[in-house]
Amino acid sequence: MDEDHHDDLDAVEPFNDVADICQQLMDRYKKSSAPQHRHLLATAAAMRAILAAESLPLTPPAYFAATISSIDDMSSSASQILEPTATAALLSFLAMVLPLVPPGSVSSGKAGEAVSMLMGLLKREEELSMPAVRALVKCLGVLVGFCNLEDWGSIKLGLETLLKFSVDRRPKVRKCSQDCLGNVFKSLQSRTVIKEVSKLILSKLKGYMPLAVELSASQTSDGPKHLEVLHMLNVVKLTIPFLSKKVGSKLLSEINELVVPRFSTLTRHVLQIIETLFESSRANAIISETEATIASLASYVSLGDEVPSDTVMLAATLLKSSLFILHAGELTSWINSLALVCSSVAGLLTSEASTASHASDILKELISQFVDQKSLLVGESQPSDDEAHKTMKASVLISICTAFEDALSTCKGVPNEHLLGVISALFLKLGGISYVYMRSILLNLANSMTLASGDKSNTDHLQKCIGTAVIAIGPERILELVPISLNASDFTCSNIWLVPILKDYVVGASLGYYMEHIMPLAKSFCRASGKVKKSITSQDLQAHARDLLGLLPAFCNLPTDICQKFRPLAEILVTFLQDSLMHENIAVALQVLVNQNKSVLDQKDGAGDTKSYAVDKSLLEFGNLPNYSKKTATRNIKALTSCSSELLIALTDLFLYSPPEKRLYLKDAIGCLASVTDSSNAKKIFISLLEKFQFKDSRHELGKLESQTDASAGEEEQNLSTREKDALRCVMMELASSFVKGANEDLIDLIYAFAKDTLLNDDEIAIHEAYHTLSRILEEHDWFCSSRFAELIDLLLGLRSPVDIISLRSRFASFQTLMIHTLKIDSEVENSKSFLILNEIILKLKDAKDEAVREAAYDVLLKISVSLRDPSFVRSDGPYQKLINMIMGYLTGASPHIKSGAVSVLSVLVYKDTDICLSMPDLVPSILSLLQGKALEVIKAVLGFVKVLVSCLETRPLQRLLPDIVNAVLPWSPVSRHHFRSKVTVIMEILLRKCGTASVQFATPDKYKGFLKGIVESRHNKKSSKEVATTDIDTGHADTTTNRTEDKKRKRFGKPHEKKGSMEHREMKRLKRHIPNNQRTNEHHTSGGDGFKRTNKGRQSDGVKSNKDQSERSGKTNKEKYSKGPASGFKRKMDSTNTRKDAAAMPRPHTSSKSFKHKKVGRKN
C-alpha cells in the first residue's frame, strides 16, 4: 500500500486544473481493485458531495477548503482514533489538489491556518502511516509557499517541520521533504528571511557537528544517528545556493573540521559540500577560510592511493578551485598556497592512469594560470624592490620544482607521460630561468634517457620532455649541462642520444654556435674514426659525425644571428656541397631560412608560421616560441639576398649532375634562393647555363641545336649525343621551373621561350617538365596569362596531347588557369576559346582507356568549378554559371558520345554542389529530356546523373522535382538490357525512402503502378528479413538470408549479379574519389515518409559502365541490335557507327547562355 500511494502522488500524467479532480481520479482508477484506490475515490466522492450540498463549484480551491476542514475535524477530535487508510487517502487527496490551486487564490492567512491544522495532525504522528506522513509533508511544502514569504514568523514553523523531516529515516518521506524544502528556498527573496533561514541551517548543522566529527574519525557508521548526519549534510548541500553569503564562510569553517587525512563515510558528502560552496559563493565571502581548506585538502590528497581515487580527484580539483578563489581576492597568500597545492597534487602523477591524467590536467592549468612573468617569475631579467617578496617567489618556484623532482625520483624506469607532460609545461612556462630552477630535473631526465638508451621503444614522451627543455633554455645551455663528448682512450660516446632530440627541437638558436661548437665536435669524431682499428667503431663514429653536422637545419630554425653569421655560413655551405651526404641537409636548411622569414613578411599580422614542428600543440599555451618581427625578417632577407647568388650558382651546378632523387630537394632549395635573389642575377645564371649547354646562340635566340657533323667545329663540338642532349634539356627544364616563383617579367619571358621551344620540338624526355614549368608560370604570374592568352591557347591546342599521365596533368593544370581566367572576364573572343579547352577535357574523359587519365580529367573540372565558386565571384551571370552553361551547351547539337560525356561531368559537379540544381532551374529538365532520345550511352549517363541527383538532393527540393524525375525514368523500367531496369529500380528505391511511398505513388503514372508495387513489396520483404535475422538467427545465417533476399530481388527485376571486379564497380570507385566523404550517397540519404533509412550498400552505381560499354567507348562496333526502347512505342536500333568519329571534329555545343554563339571548332591533332 505504501508503494501504491507513492505512485499516486508521483503520477507521470499530471492532473488538469480545469476539469473536476474527482472525475479525473474516477477516470484514472475506476478499473483498479486496489484498496487504496477505492479509499481515494471514496474520499474524492465525499468531498464532491460536500461541495454539491453547499452548491459550491467543483474547483481546486473549493476542494482544498472542504478537505482541510475534514482534516481539522479529524485532528481536533483527540478521543477519535485515526484510521490509517482513511487518513492516508484524505491527505493524499489534499496533496493532489493543492498543486492545482491557482497562486493567490488562497490567502497567506488561510495558508497559515492550514499549516497549523496539519501541525495539529502531526502531533499524532505515531498513528499515521508512511504514505500519510509523506502526503502531509507534501501538503506542508505547498502551503508554506502560499504563506507570506516576506514574514519569517509565518513560515518559521513550516520550514522547521520540513527541515525535521529532511533527515527522516524513511527514504520517501525524506526525499519528499527535501524536494519541498528546495522549492521553498528557491522562492525566498527577502534578505531578512534568507538571513533567518541561513541561521536555521547553520544551527541545525552545528547540532550535528559533534557526532559528525566523531563519525569522520571513525571507520564505521552504525546507528540511526550516524545516518542522520549524512542526511543533514545532504540538506546543507541542497540549500547552500540559497543561503546568505555571510553564512558561507561559517559553513566552510564547520566543514573544514570534517576534512581529515583519512577516508570515512562522510568524506564524499563533505567534499561535495565544499564543491557547492566554491561554486555558489563569492570569493570574498569565503576567502578567510579557504587557506584552512587548502591545508586540509592537501593533507587528504597526499594520501594518494590509500583512499578511493574518486575522492582524491575531487579533492585535487577543489585545491585548484581554492587557489583561484585566493587569487581572485587579490591577496599574496595564494603564492605560498601554490607550492603546497602543487606538491600534494604532484604526488598523484605516479598513481594509476586515470588519477595521474586528472592530476596532470590540474597541474598544467595551474602552471598556465599562475606561473607568469608578472606574478611569479623571478630572475636577472626582472628586478624587484621588495627583496623579501622576491625571495618568497623564488622559494615557491624551488618548492614546486622540488616536488616534481621528488616525483621523478619515485619512478621506476622511464617516467610516465603525465608527469613528463607537466614538466614540459613548466619548462616552457619558465623559459630561460628553468636553467636555474629546473637544472636537477633536467639532469634526472638525462639520466633516465641514458639508462633507457638501449631500449628506446618507450622513450617518446621522455624525448619530448627533454625537447621542451631544449626549446626553453636553448641548445647551448643544454649541451653545457648534458655535454656530448668522446672518450679519447676507449672512443666511447656520451649523451649521443641527445642528437635526434636536438634535431627536432632546436629553435631560436645561434648559427655561430653551430659553426664554432657543433662543427668542431663533428670533426673530432671524424678524426677519431681514423684512429680506431675496429671498422664497426669507426663506422659508428663517422655516423655520429654526420648526425652532428646534420643538425644544420635545426640551427637554421629561427636563428638569432642571421645578419651577423649568414655570410660565413654561406661560405661553409659551398664547401659542404662537396660532401654528398650533406646535400639534403643544406637544401632543407636554406628552405627553412628563406621560408620562415618570407612567411613573416607575407602575413598581415606580422607573424608567420614560425613554430617548431616537433612541439606538441597542446603545450604551446605555456610559452610562446621564438618568432621574428617584420623588421627583423626584412633585415634577415637582405642578409640572405647578399649571399644568394653564390649559393644559387653552386646549387644549380650540383643540380645539373645529380640523380633524379636528389634533384627533388635541390630544386626546392633553388626555388627558395631564387625567390630572394635579384631577378637580374637569376636571369644571368640561367642564361649562362643555356649557353653552356648550347641551348642559346650568340643572338640569344633559343633553339635546339642540330647535330653538327662538320669536323671544323673542333673543340666546341665535343658534343653530346642527341639523347644526352634531350636529357640535359629535361634537367634544364626542371631547373627552370624552380626559377619561376620570384622571377621578373624578363626572366619569365626567357623561361617561357625555353619551355615553348621544348614543347614545339616534341621532346619526349623533357616535355613533361616543360608542361610543368608552363603550369607554374600561369599559377604564379597572373599577368602572363592575361597578356599571352591567345598565344597560350594556340600553343597548347596545337600540340599533340601527351601520353604520360604526369605531362597530361600539367597540361590540364595550364588549362585550369586559362579556363578560370576566361570565365572571370567578359570577353566574347576569349570565351569562345574556352570551348576548345572544354572539348579536349571531355574527350579525354570519354575516350581514355586509362583510369588515371579519366581521373585527371575529372580532377581538373572539379578544381575549375571549386575556384569559380569563390564567393567574390557569385552573381547570377558569374563565372561558375558560365561554366555550367558551357557544359549544358553540349546537351544539344552534339553527338551522343559528347552528350554522355557532358552529362557525366554534370553528375560529378552535382555530387560536389547540389545547389546548382536550384540556382539553374533549367539544368535538371534539360538532362531529363535526353531520356526521350535513343542513344544508349546517353541514356546510361542520364540515369547515372539521376541517381546522383536523388541521392544528394535534400528531401524538400527533391519533392518539387519528383513528378519530372518519375515520368522521365519509368519509361525505361521495362528495358532489362544494359541494366536500365536495375538502374531505374535503384532510383525509385531512393525516391521511396526520401520522399515517402505516398508521394511517389501519387506521381507515378498508372501504367507503371505494378512496377512500383513490386519495388515497395521487395523493400518490405527486405526489411522484414533483416529484422528476423537480427533477432532470431546468428550473423552468418543473417548474411545468407540477406543474400537470398537480394537474389529474389534481382530475379524479380531482372538485375544481374554484381561482381566486385566489374568495370561498374571500378567506375563507381573512381566517381566517389572525387566526392568528399561527407557528401557521399549513403550519407545524404534522409528518412522519407515510409520510414526507410538506407539503401543496400551493395548496389551498383548509376553512372557506371559495364565491360561491354567500355568496349563501346573504345570505338568497337556494337553488333547487337537493340529492339526495345522506352515504353513510348518506338523501336530502337543500335547504331554501329564508330563513336570515335566524334573526336575527329567535335562541334562546339549549343549553350543556354546567350553569350556563347554557335560555332564549330575543329580539334587539332
Let me know: does 121 contact 71? Beta carbons within 8 Å.
Answer: yes
Nearest alpha-carbon partner for 673 in 649, 651, 652, 644: 644
Task: Please give the C-alpha separations between residue 690 and each of 725, 735, 762, 930, 1041, in angstroms, as whole numbers.
Answer: 12, 11, 19, 56, 72
pLDDT at 660: 87
The C-alpha atoms of residue 86 and residue 657 are separated, in whole angstroms, by: 108
- Measured distance CA(718)–CA(819) in Å, rounded: 45
Q: Which residues face 1000 on adjacent strands?
A: none
- The sign of the torsion formed by the CA atoms of 552, 558, 560, 561 equals positive
With b for 16 or more beta-carbon neighbours within 10 A and e for fewer, the 592-616 pattern comes to: bbbbbbbbbeeeeeeebebbbebbe
Between CA 336 and CA 344, with CA 340 as vertex, the angle to 5 degrees is 170
Alpha helices in 1033-1077, H assignment, sequence order: 1035-1053, 1063-1072
**Helices 35-53 & 2-9 angle (0-180, nearest 10):** 50
Tracing cell 598523484 back to the chain, one arrives at 348
At 494, is the secondary structure helix, strand, or coil? strand
Q: For CA atoms 853, 858, 863, 865, give the dihedral sign.
A: positive
Residue 1007 has phi, psi (to 5 degrees) of: -60, -25
C-alpha cell, 894: 552534339
Q: Say how far apart CA 179 and CA 99 lie, in whole Å.
A: 14
SS3 annotation, 1093-1144 = CCCCCCCCCCCCCCHHHHHHHCCCCCCCCCCCCCCCCCCCCCCCCCCCHHHH
C-alpha 521: how far from chain center: 45
User: Is 680 within 8 Å of 602 (Cβ atoms)?
Assistant: no
Contact 910, 1070 (CB under 8 A): no
Question: Who's near 6: CB < 8 A, 6+ residues apart?
Answer: 131, 134, 172
> SS3 for 1123?
coil
The ranges of the chain with pLDDT < 50 are 1-6, 12, 378-385, 605-613, 697-701, 703-719, 874, 1028-1165
Alpha carbon separation from 903 to 833, 855, 1152 (Å, rounded): 21, 16, 15
Tell me the sheet residues that pair with 696. 702
For residue 280, the model assigns a pLDDT of 87
Question: Cell 656541397 belongs to which residue?
Answer: 577
Which 8-state DSSP code applies to residue 83? P
486: which DSSP letter?
E
Neighbours of 321 (CB within 10 A): 19
- Tell me the Cα Rg of the chain: 43
In tens, the pLDDT along 794-824 reads 899 888 888 888 989 999 999 999 888 888 8
pLDDT digit string, tens, across residues 123-132: 888 888 899 9
Helix (H) or strand (E) holding 989: helix 980-995
Please give the Cα distance from 497 to 490 (Å, whole number): 18
Q: How much is the pLDDT for 615? A: 54
- The pTM score is 0.74
Backbone angles phi and psi of 768, in degrees to 5? -70, -35
The answer to whether residues 430 and 382 touch, using CB atoms and an 8 Å cutoff, is no
Query: CA–CA separation, 442 vs 448, rounded Å?
Result: 10
Among 294, 430, 416, 295, which Cα is nearest to 349's? 416
How far, rounded to the nearest angstrom, does the alpha carbon of residue 782 sit from its chain's CA centroid? Answer: 35
Tell me the C-alpha distance between 728 and 327, whole Å.
71
Q: What's the chain's length in residues?
A: 1165
Tell me the C-alpha distance between 69 and 48, whole Å: 13
User: 518: which DSSP letter?
Assistant: I
pLDDT at 382: 42
Secondary structure of residue 379 in the 3-state scheme: strand
